Structure 1
């Protein structure tokens, strides 16, 4: 009881992260999302369109769905958090029947008083137009009559489709139907595979003059994506005896304006560099996660269960405005902490073991990832201290390697070098070549 009281008092005192009732008003503004759409437009090839779908609604059991979480890329581009929506972003202005131009279209689920009574308020097309910074927003049912021929574009870019989209038979414009309509509008091949078609494009662009290298690239892809090993044209290209044979294969490759592999690369390029607005939200997510770690350290004792510890973390998240966990919380005591993605959190007592807590709050779409390992009884034994100190030194080495202009892998390499040598010094491994036994 005393520990719980201290935990409660500590939370009350953390006013720096206090969130009052209602929205705190620090969400990304419509101008941010509009700017991100424009940045993506600059990357699109000529005469192309990017088509981005909202995340599917995922069913938990029977008539109960999981809490909805928007696709991060869709939210990044639109600021829209509801399902059954699709964004079309054009590389150049399009013209409607009245001669008016537009360069983007957003289709959203309509207002529905009966549905909203059960599942919550919807934004609707009118409010989306007013608040999200789009000139053209329509109900998703209008996507079926899109006044554009998608087959007339040189490239139609889209992310690969989810394979867990359910069809609501009572909704003719849910995500299932939006995807179905997209397939019809683009003559989407039944056997379309993004990796396979990316290889087809690569072979057409590379020509056959350097066929040996091209064949090696195909072989490498086939090793990484085993399904490509069954493609008869790719097998024939690899086995071709000369440039003439390879050219004959390339001439028979199916052509399509569909591109399911480039858009994710563009999104990665945009999102790997954060704006000041994004960094503010990331710092908030990290701050909330750090508060949770500190409060758990104060409250933890050997009689606690892993699930209790998880609960304190997630209570703190909600207390300070986090909408979600960034990923399933990992709380592993003893051997459980050696399972990289241990999410059962089912051990009834953590006892005197080390407790690994790999957790992170999500705040307005941005996720922290903060891992700490502490002894449940508040005191390291000799062996625990040795490992903890080694990991701490590795962390400090990684942080020191985080410099502007450094290679992305430099912090990992710096930390790994410390761990490898430290494991040898502790006698846990005989040689650094054994490092993969532990990470």
Structure 2
């Protein structure tokens, strides 16, 4: 008969016919009348022991049952729970706790000792009555904390020119809610996992503890923050007479120049999206629906480890591509037409943004080649200009010069055509790229570029089907070629993060016809 459950070092009592003795059970030696126990380390399992009196030989027999130890979850992956995703020192992929601390210190360099910065992230938005959208953390909150749950507040107090004290208010652990929605971090874990000095629970949407902290720390009632929409919190701050100053620009500025680990993250994002473009080129054929191509691409990026798409993808057959942000994706792919595909993925908080234009049947027509070669030439020559001291504006002006030359050479701009280049190239050469697809929007395109900034280079030529001023062979053709580029030091070559996405005509045709 099996006895009651005992822990690992339970003292067991053994009997024989003549005497009894006590033995602390750490391990049993081998032998005919003893059993040998092999178990996993206690960090990986729980071991349950039971004893069974063996009257035949007067010894107790020991049976064991090994149960996997329940993993301690905090609401997002950790090295302990997901060692296949994160290294021992990583808080999120590629980024360590120390780098997050350094980001907070760098942010506070612009503030005076005693100033208080408050960042927050609101409740997850709902797509219908009680069905949430897939949660994506507020970019600034994620950049400075690495924390990936909704309804949290980060308070930073600058205590000296070299240091600060951090507080984080998070949803309290709630077994009833966690049963439905998954694990929460809880205040008791923010120091260990996120390097935050003090953790506090937000209980039942009650901000009293936060208000008390701010009241103690802000004698002037001034709070520096980003005005994210969280009505309940903002109402509480206003009713407590705090003055809120928007520091969005201060929050974005450090994000413009990427660290080595951030560049590594964006290389990974670009590689995943680039490989998925190649797979999509192999897959596509006439008669498919645009949304099927969109779904196939999304499946490919997620198969390679991306968490989500960077933005709703554009999959535009033929003349549909003359709508720059065409996202209907519900038309059929026509033999002989091009498909313009603008898509990217988000990998651990860092985005990629790629556009490729390729023939649905695997072969460019001569007219398509002429427009494509012009756009690709501008793409390559503008990438070479991605060095420190330039700006998106100066590179754009250079792209306009090149586009004008090509449009005139191809007979698209001519004496009898009242149009100008802007009718065929209506957008900028690119934008900043990082944690958001259109990143750091508070900064204009006249900012001088510095090494390790990342921008897109995306020239295009778009010729509406109904434009009678253009040679007929070009009507309805729309082509864009877009890459993600790391700004280089003067004298160095820029790094193209999206080089895995084929863009040479011969390479594209080879891929599509040798599946």
Q: Do the structures match in fold with TM over 0.5? A: yes
What is the CA–CA distance in structure 2 between the aligned matches of 1:314 and 1:21, rounded to whole Å?
A: 25
What is the CA–CA distance in structure 1 between the aligned matches of 2:227 and 2:287, rounded to whole Å?
A: 47
Distance change >3 Å, CA 30–CA 151, structure 1 → 2: closer
Match of 1:180 in 2: 235
* Aligned-residue RMSD, C-alpha: 2.3
Match of 1:36 in 2: 103
Q: Is the 8 A contact 1:46 1:154 kept in 2?
A: no
Q: Is the 8 A contact 2:344 2:353 kept in 1?
A: yes
Match of 1:129 in 2: 191
CA deviation after TM superposition for structure 1 residue 388, in Å = 0.8
Q: 1:266 aligns with which of 244, 250, 257?
A: 250
CA deviation after TM superposition for structure 1 residue 267, in Å = 1.9
Q: How does 1:57-96 map to 2 (within 5 A)?
A: 57-92=124-159
Q: TM-score, normalised by structure 2?
A: 0.60
- In the alignment, structure 1 residue 437 sits paired with structure 2 residue 423: yes
Distance change >3 Å, CA 49–CA 351, structure 1 → 2: farther
Match of 1:52 in 2: 119
What is the CA–CA distance in structure 2 between the aligned matches of 1:350 and 1:31, rounded to whole Å?
A: 52
CA deviation after TM superposition for structure 1 residue 102, in Å = 6.5
Match of 1:235 in 2: none
Structure in which a larger fraction of residues adopt strand? 2
Match of 1:321 in 2: 305
Structure in which a larger fraction of residues adopt helix? 1
Q: Is the 8 A contact 2:337 2:360 kept in 1?
A: yes
Match of 2:321 in 1: 337
What is the CA–CA distance in structure 1 between the aligned matches of 2:319 and 2:354, rounded to whole Å?
A: 20
Match of 2:454 in 1: none
CA deviation after TM superposition for structure 1 residue 421, in Å = 1.8
Q: Is the 8 A contact 1:90 1:104 kept in 2?
A: yes
Match of 2:356 in 1: 372
Match of 2:365 in 1: 381
Match of 1:106 in 2: 168
CA deviation after TM superposition for structure 1 residue 319, in Å = 0.7
Q: Is the 8 A contact 2:315 2:341 kept in 1?
A: yes
Unaligned runs of 5+ in 1: 1-19, 94-100, 163-174, 188-256
Q: How does 1:31-430 map to 2 (within 5 A)?
A: 31-92=98-159, 103-141=165-203, 143-145=207-209, 146-149=212-215, 152-153=219-220, 155-162=222-229, 175-187=230-242, 257-260=243-246, 263-430=247-414
Distance change >3 Å, CA 272–CA 102, structure 1 → 2: closer
Q: Is the 8 A contact 1:304 1:348 kept in 2?
A: yes
CA deviation after TM superposition for structure 1 residue 126, in Å = 1.8
CA deviation after TM superposition for structure 1 residue 436, in Å = 1.7
What is the CA–CA distance in structure 2 between the aligned matches of 1:411 and 1:86, rounded to whole Å?
A: 40
What is the CA–CA distance in structure 2 between the aligned matches of 1:121 and 1:350, rounded to whole Å?
A: 48
What is the CA–CA distance in structure 2 between the aligned matches of 1:350 and 1:372, rounded to whole Å?
A: 17
Deviates more, 1:337-346 or 1:421-430: 421-430
- CA deviations 1:158-178 (Å, max 9, x no partner) are 22233xxxxxxxxxxxx5433
CA deviation after TM superposition for structure 1 residue 114, in Å = 1.4
Computing the radius of gyration from Cα coordinates, the structure with the larger value is: 2
SS at match of 2:264: helix
Distance change >3 Å, CA 416–CA 45, structure 1 → 2: farther
CA deviation after TM superposition for structure 1 residue 329, in Å = 1.2
SS at match of 1:148: helix
Q: Is the 8 A contact 1:49 1:153 kept in 2?
A: no
Q: Is the 8 A contact 1:289 1:368 kept in 2?
A: yes
